[in-house]
């Protein structure tokens, strides 16, 4: 039986949210000898411009026909799409007839606005988690996941995570060997290790114009040193108490948590991209004790450093 996958587009959708999964489903179809039928849909049909200006041809919702999987793209346009009654009505109706419904990146906002995520586990792009939680408190948001599955609804994190989502669906439909071969053809992880926190460094979260962005950059260069609140406050020209309060208000985390995040980012890079002993990586990143680093890795990534190193070498 030919598998049909319908994608929901809207003005200013993120191009890779669609192109990435489409490529994965296409390649998997070649391996199994049954090409997937891809349908691109939008409220009015015709060409839909992505946020990059590149356009994709689509059919109107009324011509959707039958489909096995409904996948909602993300992007800047979700802010308008989540209040488009035609889109929300189609997503609700489509979810009732599809075997599974999914979103990529901020497409989760559309699913949530349609009422499909209430009481379910879900994820979205790390930069929009705070906004999502404010808007949809009834959703069990899991911000560090690459993708979540709460049958029959799947959601994925930012942009390229749509490929991870598609590979998981391919594994379910056609088996792990096909998913693995597809990942190899795409030159991506078959099972990406860790969560999306690895891609949201604190310097970026603080923003270039933040008064603490320079401080975080300074700290990143000195991770092997003691970076106490007192030392950070002194560098920022503030009292420790005022610094800790202002830093948490602006970044959403304590200074200690921020430093740990920077250390985790540096340590993960050392674990995955070098052959340095784990003990040396722990010292250079400022963890000192390898056991302390191992516990931090388990909290942040769900795996110890050795497991991430093995996964990186096998990829």
Q: Alpha-carbon distance 105 to 146, whole Å?
A: 10
- pLDDT (0 to 100) of residue 208: 47
Helices (H), 146-304: 161-174, 176-186, 202-206, 213-220, 229-236, 240-251, 255-273, 278-285, 290-301
Cβ–Cβ under 8 Å, residues 106 and 128: yes
Point out the residues that are catalytic: 105
pTM for this entry: 0.66
Sign of the Cα pseudo-torsion (297, 303, 307, 308, in order):
negative
Query: pLDDT tens across 189-227, in order?
Result: 666 655 555 555 554 545 545 688 788 888 988 999 999
Q: Roughly what angle, to the nearest 10 degrees, separates helices 305-314 and 255-273?
A: 40
Contact 116, 93 (CB under 8 A): no
Full pLDDT tens readout for the chain, 315 residues: 578 999 999 999 999 999 999 999 999 999 999 999 999 999 999 999 999 999 999 999 999 999 999 999 999 999 999 999 999 999 999 999 999 999 999 999 999 999 999 999 999 988 888 899 999 999 998 877 888 999 999 999 878 889 989 999 999 999 988 998 998 898 876 666 555 555 555 545 455 456 887 888 889 889 999 999 999 999 999 999 999 999 988 877 889 988 998 898 889 888 887 889 999 999 999 998 899 999 999 888 778 999 888 877 765
Chain centroid offset of residue 251 CA: 20
Relative to beta strand 121-122, strand 46-49 is: unpaired
Residue 59 CB neighbours (<10 A): 15
Q: How far apart are CA 178 and CA 25, in angstroms?
A: 11
Domains in the chain, CATH or no CATH each: 4-192 (3.40.50.880), 198-314 (1.10.10.60)
Both tokens of residue 122?
A: 């879900």
- Structure tokens belonging to residue 259: 């430093």
Q: Are 299 and 144 in contact (CB under 8 A)?
A: no
């Amino acid at each position: 039986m030919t598998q049909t996958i319908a994608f929901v587009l809207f003005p200013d959708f993120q191009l890779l949210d669609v192109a990435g999964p489409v490529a994965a489903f296409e390649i998997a179809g070649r391996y199994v000898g049954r090409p997937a039928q891809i349908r691109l849909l939008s409220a009015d049909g015709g060409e839909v411009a992505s946020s990059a200006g590149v356009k994709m041809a689509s059919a109107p919702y009324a011509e959707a026909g039958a489909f096995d999987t409904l996948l909602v793209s993300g992007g800047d346009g979700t802010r308008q799409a989540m209040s488009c009654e035609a889109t929300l009505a189609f997503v609700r109706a489509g979810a009732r007839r599809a075997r599974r419904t999914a979103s990529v990146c901020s497409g989760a906002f559309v699913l949530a606005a349609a009422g499909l995520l209430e009481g379910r586990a879900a994820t979205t792009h790390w930069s929009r988690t705070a906004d999502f939680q404010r808007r949809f408190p009834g959703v069990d948001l899991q911000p560090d996941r690459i993708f979540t599955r709460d049958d029959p609804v799947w959601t994925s994190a930012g942009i390229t995570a749509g490929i991870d989502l598609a590979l998981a669906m391919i594994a379910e439909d056609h088996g792990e060997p096909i998913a693995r071969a597809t990942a190899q053809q795409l030159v991506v992880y078959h099972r990406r290790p860790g969560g999306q926190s690895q891609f949201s460094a604190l310097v970026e979260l603080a923003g270039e114009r933040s008064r603490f962005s320079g401080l975080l950059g300074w700290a990143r260069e000195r991770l092997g040193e003691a970076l106490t609140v007192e030392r950070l406050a002194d560098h920022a020209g503030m009292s420790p108490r005022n610094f800790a309060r202002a830093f948490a208000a602006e970044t959403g985390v304590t200074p200690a948590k921020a430093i740990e995040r920077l250390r985790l980012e540096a340590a993960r890079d050392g674990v995955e991209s070098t052959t340095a002993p784990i003990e040396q990586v722990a010292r250079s990143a400022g963890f000192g004790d390898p056991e302390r680093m191992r516990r931090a890795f388990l909290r942040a990534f769900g795996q110890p450093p050795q497991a991430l190193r093995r996964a990186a070498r096998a990829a």
